[in-house]
Amino acid sequence: MTTTYDCTIDDERARGLEHAQRAIREKKCVVLPTDTVYGIGADAFSPQAVTMLLVSKGRSRTMPPPVLIPRINALDGLATEVSAEARKLAEAFWPGGLTLILHAQPSLDWDLGETKGTVALRMPADEVALELLTLTGPLAVSSANRTGQAPAQTAAAAREQLADSVEVYLEGGPRPLEGEAGVPSTIVDATGPILRVVRNGAVSLDRLREHVPGVLGLGEIPMAEKEAAPAQPAAGEDGNDAGSAPAASGSSAVTGTAAEPATPAGDPQP
C-alpha cells in the first residue's frame, strides 16, 4: 500500500526507510528527497524496476535515469576507465551537485535504457537520500514528476503526480532547502580524453576549472579542433547569403560550438 512518511520525525523516518528498503528489494519505486529536487528511485540493477520508474514518469528508454550512490568508493564498482581528472572532480564535489557520465562496468547486469555503454553517477548531499542509499545500494533516480510537468519540491507534490505508481514517499520537507537555489546538478561527460560540461548547473565552470583546468564549458570545442576546422565560405558563396547557411544535421547551430546532447526541458535530473 502506498504510504507517506514524515522524515522530519525520527521514529517515522526509521519506519519510512525500512519500508523503502523493502520496496526497493521488491522492485517497486520510492520517492526520496535529494539536495536539488525530489527524485523517484528504483533498484538500478533491476530492469523490471527501472521500467516501472520510466513508465511512472511517462518517459522512454531513450532518456535513461542517472544512478545515485552512497559513497565515492562505489565509483569503481559501477564505472570503468575513470580518469584522474574525473576522480578529482568527484573528490571535490561529492556529495553535491555534480553528475559524471562515465563508461559503465561491462560486467554489470543492468539495463537503464539506451545508455550506449555509459552511466551517469552522482552522490547527493542529502541526509535522507544517503541513509536510504546506504541501505539499498545504488538507485536509478529521476526527478519525481511526470515528464513535462514541474519537478516536485515536496513528497506531497510528487504524490499528486505519481500517485500509486510509487510504494513509499519519504517526506523531508521542501527541496531545495530554504536559502538554497533550486538548480539541477552540473553534468560533465568524462568518457573522453577531455572532460566536457554537457549541462550547466549547481557547480560552475570556474569551480570545476579550479580542480581540472582543461574541462570544456558547454558547447566549447578544443583549440586543436578549431585550428583543424576548414575555412568557412565567404558571404554569398555556394548560393547562400551571409548568415543564412543551413546548420549541418546533428550539429550545433551556434558558430564555433560543438554539438551537445539534449536535456529534456522542464525535467531536470536530481
Length of the chain: 270
Give the confidence band of 263 by pLDDT, cuts at 50, 70, 90.
Answer: very low
Average pLDDT over residues 118-133: 97
Give the confidence band of 234 by pLDDT, cuts at 50, 70, 90.
Answer: very low
> Domain tally for the chain?
1
Residues 57, 177: Cα–Cα separation, whole Å: 24
- The pLDDT, as a whole number, for residue 259 is 34
The pLDDT of residue 255 is above 60? no
- Assess if residue 224 is contained within a domain: no
Q: Using DSSP, state whether 187 is helix, strand or coil.
A: strand
- Assess if residue 59 is contained within a domain: yes
The pLDDT of residue 151 is above 50? yes
Residues 185, 139: Cα–Cα separation, whole Å: 17
Q: Are 28 and 52 in contact (CB under 8 A)?
A: yes
Give the confidence band of 110 by pLDDT, cuts at 50, 70, 90.
Answer: confident
- Assess if residue 231 is contained within a domain: no
**Largest Cα–Cα distance of the chain, in whole Å?**
73
Residue 10, beta-bridge partner list: none
Residue 77, beta-bridge partner list: none
Residues above pLDDT 90, as percent of the chain: 71
Position with higher pLDDT, 6 vs 253: 6
Q: Provide the domain limits for residue 88.
A: 3-211
- Assess if residue 98 is contained within a domain: yes
Q: What does the block give as the cell for 179?
A: 536559502
Please report the beta strands in 97-184, taking only residues with DSSP state E, as ranges in sequence order.
98-104, 118-122, 139-143, 168-171
The single-letter code of the amino acid at 185 is: S
The pLDDT of residue 258 is above 60? no
**pTM of the shown model:** 0.83
